[in-house]
Structures are given as C-alpha cells and as structure tokens.
Amino acid sequence: MKLRRLFLTLSLCAPSLLSAAEMKQATFAAGCFWCMEAIFDRVPGVTNVVSGYTGGPEKNPTYEQVGSGSTGHCEAVEITYDPEKTSYAKLLDVFWRSHDPTNGRGVAPDFGKQYRSALFYRTPEEKQEIETSAAALAKKLGKKVATQIVAFEKFYPAEDYHQDYVKHHPDVPYVRNVSIPRLIEAGFKE
C-alpha cells in the first residue's frame, strides 16, 4: 500500500517537476519595473514575472540605492516562461512594443541610467536573436535603437512591496497615468 501511494504521489508530481525544469528565463529592463511586470504577466506562456535589479556591481541593492542612480543597476524584470507556449522572439516583440527603445535617456517619464532600456542575454543564441531583432526594428523605425545588449550576470529581486504592484495598487496615480497606458500601448487590456 505504501509503495502504491508513493508511486501515485510521484506520478502526480512528475509532470509539474518536468515542466518546471524546462522553463526558461529572460531578463529585460525598460523603465519602471511595475510597468514591465504588468505587461509580461499578460503574455500567454509566461508563468512568473519578478521585479528587481540588474546590470550593476552593487550586491543586494535596495530600491532607494538603485533609484539614486549610484549602483549601476537598473529596474528590470525576470520573466519565467514555457518555451512550448511562447518564444524568446515573442517576448522580444512585446518588449519592443512596450516602450520607445530609441531613447537612450531612459523610459518616459522615468529618466536616468536606472531606467534604461536593456536586454540581458544568457546564451549566444539569445544575443544573436536580440541583435537581429534590434537591427530589424531600427530599419523599420529608421532610427538607431538605444537599448543596451548586455550579458546577464545576476538578478536581485526587489522588495516584496514592489511585486505585483499594479495588481495591488490600481488606483495609485503613477499606475493610472503611466503603468496602465503602457500596458494598453503594448497591446494588452487593463
């Protein structure tokens, strides 16, 4: 009986363990992480989006430190997705639509290096896909794309109160006036 119960438990858990192992991650930055998290949460095939910091040398940075612009980090999101349900190319498409990637000063209304547009690749294939996608976009726009293409090193999750911020604070003026319009501009419903 115990052996049968163990087998049943393992057979029920195994599919979720296998699919979790096959998940992939992408790290993108394009201004406020609240906005980016809300956008990527709506992409079919995305299973988790975490707001945080990346791109600088400071270990375990805080929101205040990153916001000061002194850490080298930018606000970013770490996206976990199922490659059988969506692709890195689809995520890039959503990324490009979510902001003006030609502005090197940041993403309006947030300016400074902590709000820069950046894509953090994990593999040479991702780097190539980003470069090809950025070149095609630049050609289409007739402008240079200012988005940085950077090797991924480390991602630090933001403080708990930043996670799912748009969902938990829909009436905050920044959310109503910036996050929701960006969400709609990227092609998603509020």
pLDDT single digits (tens) 8-50: 334 444 444 435 568 999 999 999 999 999 999 999 999 999 9
CATH architecture of 22-185: 2-Layer Sandwich (3.30)
pTM above 0.75, yes or no: yes
Residue 169: partners with Cβ closer than 8 Å, 6 or more residues away: 175
Q: How confident is the model over 127-142, as a mean pLDDT?
A: 96
- What's the pLDDT score for residue 59? 94
Residue 48 · residue 164 · CB < 8 Å? no
Strand 148-151 versus strand 117-121 pairing type: parallel
- What's the pLDDT score for residue 19? 53
Other beta carbons within 10 Å of 54: 24
32 is an active site residue: yes
Q: Give the best-scoring range by mean pLDDT among 75-79, 163-167, 181-185.
A: 75-79
Name the residue ranges covered by the structural domains of the chain. Answer: 22-185
